Structure 1
């Protein structure tokens, strides 16, 4: 008598290359408007940074899997997406060795060492960005716009000055290659929600909590302009829509998503308003990623027919 054995592993449980490729392609498509705009604003150096970052991640993953005698998975586009996200988190004036170093760190240290796609505990692109930020803080926080080195809107607000909210919303401000245009990032997010690639719960709750936190603790009273400037500036939209929603490193339960997003919003508010740096999205997402197993443990639904301690059967 033959028996069917079911293999239970870490999420995601469905490991279909075609489905993975389609999801990654949709995310890449959603990022194209912000990517093209970043290249338009920052010029050829931004385009070269994107090309180097994507190529590095794809080549490094291929070489690593070849050397380790593992199945070659670069066709699923996950490495290409990691390279694109990493590039969009870099300043346009970054030296070209930086996306190479970051790509190597993202693919080998964050992704492959932990077992590859579906096994990493943090977003590879974010892990690489934080590694570069810690190692080369000066280069990672030097931004140019119209050929002039200048401060980002968040840095300007940290100095107590006001910024042009509309420019921050449209993207005509200094920043990393892919974070400047909140409008185009929101359009990309709407595309992903329409394609059912992501749920709107995490980005919507995340942004809402940051907005509430800023109104309460921002020191500007009920200043909607200041709140909007905080929401549309920096990496909040890029992080909330494209990295906090990562399938592998975010909760799968509805209540878990809400708790996760609330934690993200509070951490981002704390880092931005009370921390030593103007930005805090990357570190917030990584810290929240580490809490995901605990969040899922306390939010997992009770199986049908199981009686909770002191409770009733779920029948």
Structure 2
């Protein structure tokens, strides 16, 4: 039998990474936060998450098969499942199923598949779906169930979140005081209201450690976001501690940890170089603090990431890596 030398394009040796491996690694990293959401929200967390994941998988399959006429199915690569989980993690646990379906359709159909599918979308699909729902259904998207109602779903009793309390104090609304905020330990473990995936900073940090150990992400984006939020919120806290909370409270509240660890680090919508990642993360941190303190909405993480998604191509152009073999020009 004649042996033939097969010549192919580089690289010929790789480290075993693949889209599927990294995507399922992210899903494993999200598992602690999902478990905590089940502990605090029970049935509501299960219904919202399962609905969102199934809807995202279905819409990706249906659009790919019947609209894009693709012969290759992408629902098994893990990207649609991650979009479903992250979308669910940005929703309250009492959101009606039909609204979840609309959010999943927008996330997959508009924000992802309309641009050509995985690798082509300029904006994070889950965040785009979340912002679409927030603008379309502001009442349902800002009605937060109290934790501990494990068997309740639509009829769950509601309460204010830490971010809504902070915003009420900043605006001088009656009935709001910083004394109503949970202490740092309760914020850290998740003993407070909010979206499914934002309540427990501890569970999200476990996922961060796992992804860093597996080299799914690097420290540059989450590290720069957390540092920027610490610095800018710390300055405002020193200016007026009567209405602005400490940097630690800002870091542990709302969707900051979820966004910094799992949303801003999306491969497709974040810069490619380390320098670009640091610029990107610092701007997200600054925008988040500005929107939280001076904007109309209590939370600014989603808007900050989407804004910087739009600047990613510009950052990539500015922060190009040095070409192999290039000689630096003498000044």
Question: Are residue 248 (structure 1) and residue 268 (structure 2) matched?
Answer: yes
RMSD, aligned CA: 2.5
- Of residues 217-226 and 282-291 in structure 1, the stretch that sits farther from structure 2 once superposed is 217-226
Unmatched segments (≥5 aa) in structure 1: 8-16
C-alpha deviation, 1:200, in angstroms: 1.0
Separation in structure 2 between the aligned mates of residue 25 and residue 81 of structure 1, nearest angstrom: 8
Task: Tell me what 1:121 maps to.
Answer: 122
Match runs of 1:2-151 below 5 Å: 19-67=18-66, 68-70=68-70, 71-146=72-147, 147-151=156-160
- Of residues 147-156 and 226-235 in structure 1, the stretch that sits farther from structure 2 once superposed is 147-156
| 8 Å Cα contact 1:215-1:221 kept in structure 2 | no
Task: Tell me what 2:150 maps to.
Answer: none
| 8 Å Cα contact 2:166-2:244 kept in structure 1 | no
Describe the shift of the 1:77–1:234 C-alpha distance in structure 2 as closer, same or farther (beyond 3 A): same
Unmatched segments (≥5 aa) in structure 2: 1-6, 11-15, 148-155, 170-176
C-alpha deviation, 1:296, in angstroms: 1.1
Separation in structure 2 between the aligned mates of residue 181 and residue 25 of structure 1, nearest angstrom: 21
Task: Tell me what 1:227 maps to.
Answer: 247
| 8 Å Cα contact 1:93-1:144 kept in structure 2 | yes
C-alpha deviation, 1:159, in angstroms: 2.5
C-alpha deviation, 1:306, in angstroms: 4.4
Separation in structure 2 between the aligned mates of residue 222 and residue 189 of structure 1, nearest angstrom: 33
Match of 2:145, SS state, is: strand
Task: Tell me what 2:13 maps to.
Answer: none
| 8 Å Cα contact 2:60-2:75 kept in structure 1 | yes
Of 274, 287, 292, the match for 2:312? 292
Separation in structure 2 between the aligned mates of residue 62 and residue 18 of structure 1, nearest angstrom: 24
Question: Are residue 157 (structure 1) and residue 166 (structure 2) matched?
Answer: yes
| 8 Å Cα contact 1:251-1:296 kept in structure 2 | yes
Give per-residue Cα distances to partners, 1:228-251, cap 9 Å, x unaligned. 111100000000000100000001
C-alpha deviation, 1:217, in angstroms: 2.1
Match of 1:174, SS state, is: coil
| 8 Å Cα contact 1:94-1:139 kept in structure 2 | yes
Match of 2:18, SS state, is: helix
Separation in structure 1 between the aligned mates of residue 134 and residue 229 of structure 2, nearest angstrom: 23
TM-score, normalised on structure 2? 0.86
| 8 Å Cα contact 1:209-1:265 kept in structure 2 | yes
TM-score, normalised on structure 1? 0.90
Of 287, 303, 318, the match for 1:267? 287
Task: Tell me what 1:184 maps to.
Answer: 203
Task: Tell me what 2:194 maps to.
Answer: 175
Structure 1 runs (4+) greater than 3 angstroms displaced: 4-7, 218-225, 304-308
Describe the shift of the 1:222–1:248 C-alpha distance in structure 2 as closer, same or farther (beyond 3 A): farther
Give per-residue Cα distances to partners, 1:32-80, cap 9 Å, x unaligned. 1111111221120210110010000001111111112211111101111
C-alpha deviation, 1:275, in angstroms: 0.6
Task: Tell me what 2:220 maps to.
Answer: 201
| 8 Å Cα contact 2:226-2:251 kept in structure 1 | yes
Describe the shift of the 1:280–1:223 C-alpha distance in structure 2 as closer, same or farther (beyond 3 A): closer
C-alpha deviation, 1:97, in angstroms: 1.0
| 8 Å Cα contact 1:165-1:225 kept in structure 2 | no
